[in-house]
Amino acid sequence: MDKNDNELAEQVRQRLCEADRQLIELLGFEVESLEPGRAVVNMLVRPDMANSGGACQGGLIFALADHAFAYACMSGNRAGVTLSANIIYSNPAMVGSRLTATAVVQNEGGRTGSCSVDVSDQNGILIAQFSGVHYKTKLEIVSQL
Amino acid sequence: MSNKTVDPDVRAKIETSPFAAALGITYEEIGSGYCRVSLEIKPQHLNFHGTTHGGVIFALGDVAFAAACNSYGQTAFALNVDVSFLTGTSVGDHLVGEAKEISLNGPIGLYALTVKHAETGTLVAQSQAMAYRKRDSLI
């Protein structure tokens, strides 16, 4: 991991955030950092994110983890998609809490990779554990010409 | 899956989900251990590739799952969900999410979730979701 990899990851972060602008606004995601193989994304749980029980909808916690997962997997400048994922919900996230998803790539091959994501709240309580398989396309995110 | 109809107050409570409303998800049918929902994909649902964000697809199945496992009137929440994404979708696509109960044993329920193209029935994503039902009443 050298300075060039870090700089590239930052360029990828900027390009992805630009393209994801509408989605990020809808879901309230804030991409805090992207380093080679590691991404951190935050989210404040708003009232319109609640399920009928008053806690953050599990689907949105998945979306947060999946977003961090995707950024971590694409940090090397190859566009890709989530093939499959598993999420375990550990504790509820109440409205008003600030969630942080930290994604770390575990393994990478030529076309696939795996990555784990922990989602915690502002008190360090584990909200969910996510792990997924990523598929890499041949497309670059930031042109290297 | 039981044939009992869902208590109207339970149904009404389920349908108040703020998150479902925020995403634009419509409840089509709620039965005992069953739910079908729909969503038209809009620009704000897209990721960097111009296809629907996996989290939105998951959320569609998840909203159906939440309704299905809460349909008996006991508060239920997700323990563990597996999902596989099979094909991409984009703006203008009409998707249907469905949750069907596979097993209900005490507090543990297992549900099969699908997300499909409404017109063709093409499978977009498939999930298996486990729920825990508390003794608390939903309403």
Share of chain A above pLDDT 70, in %: 99
* pLDDT in the model for residue B91: 97
* pLDDT in the model for residue B48: 86
Which residue from B minimizes the CA distance to A90? B79
Per the prediction, chain B carries an average pLDDT of 94
DSSP codes of every residue in A21-74: HHHHHHHTEEEEEEETTEEEEEEE--GGGB-TTSBB-HHHHHHHHHHHHHHHHT
Residue A123 neighbours by CB under 8 Å, 6+ apart = none
The answer to whether the Cβ–Cβ distance between B19 and A79 falls below 8 Å is no
The Cα A17–Cα A39 span in angstroms is 13
> How do A29-35 and B26-31 pair as beta strands?
unpaired
Beta-carbon pairs below 8 A across chains A and B:
126
pLDDT exceeds cutoff 90 at A92: yes
Q: Which of A96, A79, A7, A83 is nearest to A43 (CA)?
A: A96
Residue A3 neighbours by CB under 8 Å, 6+ apart = none
Which residue among A49, A83, A89 sits closest to B18, beta carbon to beta carbon?
A49
Which residue from A minimizes the CA distance to B12? A52
The Cα A130–Cα A84 span in angstroms is 11
B13 chain-A contacts, CB cut-off 8 A: 52
pLDDT exceeds cutoff 90 at B1: no
| Whole-prediction pTM | 0.91
10 Å CB burial of residue A101 (0-12, 13-18, 19+) is buried
Note the ipTM here: 0.86
- Mutation target for B interface from A12, A61, A62, A136: give the one with most B CBs within 10 A: A62
Residue position matching structure tokens 């998800």: B25
Q: Is A60 near chain B, with CB under 8 Å?
A: yes
Q: Is B80 near chain A, with CB under 8 Å?
A: yes
DSSP B4: P
Structure tokens at B135: 């003794």
pLDDT exceeds cutoff 90 at A51: no
* pLDDT in the model for residue A1: 55
* pLDDT in the model for residue A113: 95
Q: Is A61 near chain B, with CB under 8 Å?
A: no
A133's torsion region: left (phi>0), alpha (psi -120 to 50) or beta? beta
Question: Lowest mean pLDDT: which of A15-29, A56-70, A85-99, B52-66?
Answer: A15-29
Q: Is A44 near chain B, with CB under 8 Å?
A: no
Which residue among B55, B75, B79 sits closest to A67, beta carbon to beta carbon?
B55
The Cα B41–Cα B24 span in angstroms is 9
The Cα A34–Cα B44 span in angstroms is 22
Q: Which of B80, B60, B47, B123 is nearest to A131 (CA)?
A: B80
pLDDT exceeds cutoff 90 at A24: no
B51 chain-A contacts, CB cut-off 8 A: 81
